[in-house]
Structures are given as C-alpha cells and as structure tokens.
Amino acid sequence: MSSFLIAGLGNIGSEYAGTRHNIGFDVVAALVAKHGGSFVADRLAAVSEIKFKGRTLTCILPSTFMNLSGKAVKYWQDRKKIPLERLLVVTDDIALPLSRLRLRASGSDAGHNGLKSIFAELQTDQYPRLRYGIGNHFPRGMQVEYVLGKWNPDELALVKLKNEKAVELIESFVTTGLERTMNDYNKIEITL
C-alpha cells in the first residue's frame, strides 16, 4: 500500500482562521473531512491518517507557525518514511489568480516563508506542491496585510468551489500520479 504525506501550510490560532495564508490548512482539512477523518494533536502538527483507494494519506497541519513549517514536514516525512515524490505541500500563492490551481513537481519558494522553511529542512526543492492562487489585489506595500487578511465575502463561494477542486486534485495525485494530474488540472480556470 502506497503512503503519502499531505501537508497543508498555515498558521495556528483563531486570528488566522479563514485567511488567505491559511488556505493550505483549509484544503487539507476539507480532504480529511470528505473522507471521514479527524485531526489529533501530535508532534509539531495536527495529524489525520485517511485511506483512499488503497493508499494511506498522512495529512498534517503544522503547529509550528508558517515560518517553521519545514520542521513538521521533515519530522513526519522521516517518521512515516515517505519518499519526496509522495510528499505534497499545499500552499497559497499570490503569483496566481484566484481562479487557478497549479501542481508542480518542484520549484523555488518564490518568497514564501513556509516553502523557505521546508527547503531549509529538506535541503531540496524537488518535491510536489499544490499552489493555490490567492491573487494579488493589494496596494503597494500591503502584501502582508492582504495575505494575512480574510477572504472578501464575494470571494467565498469561489473559494469553496476551488477547495473542492483542490481536494479532487489531491485525490488524483495519489491515484493517477503527478504528470497526469498536472495535465488534467493546471489549465483549468475555476469560476462560478
């Protein structure tokens, strides 16, 4: 049975709930909820183990805060003996519009502190990541406020739909693989 590690990036605490920067948490929580799982507090993360089509998915929401996400990812990757190609990190991305999801086999951190931390711990950027577009509709100098801000009410219906698509993408990744999933999802424009 293949095992996977699915890591959603975000910050713990109620003040961060529902923010753009926490979309990795929200997507992985939606995946776990869809498959009847629940999270328990464990070392460096909230953890849930779910089964899907003969695969075991260890899903983590790091409790380290975004800037130290790599510590949780490395710990759980080592503990579960997951090869890099079966690790999937779900993260927000301001370089993509809200209508897009992009699965990548590898890539730079693009200034994202969670991805910087993972690189520092794993010493490589050669692992799959799901980049969730959050758009970049903020005035110059207001990036932090935008990323840590909550979704606008008029975005919520699209975010809900996109979270469902992101869950489908993760299910595809673990069953049909990276290449096919990239071909099936990277070009999709998600709209209401």
DSSP 81: T
- The label of the residue with tokens 């993760």 reads 170
Beta-strand relationship, 40-42 and 101-104: unpaired
DSSP letters spanning 172-187: HHHHH-HHHHHHHHTT
Q: d(Cα 98, Cα 91) in Å, to the nearest integer?
A: 13
Catalytic residue, candidates 21, 35, 112, 137: 21
Instruction: Report the Cα 36 to chain-centroid distance in Å.
Output: 19
Location of structure tokens 């997951």: 82
DSSP state of 39: -
| Residue of 148, 131, 151 whose CA lies nearest to 67 | 148
**Residue 112 catalytic?**
no
Q: Which residues are catalytic?
A: 21
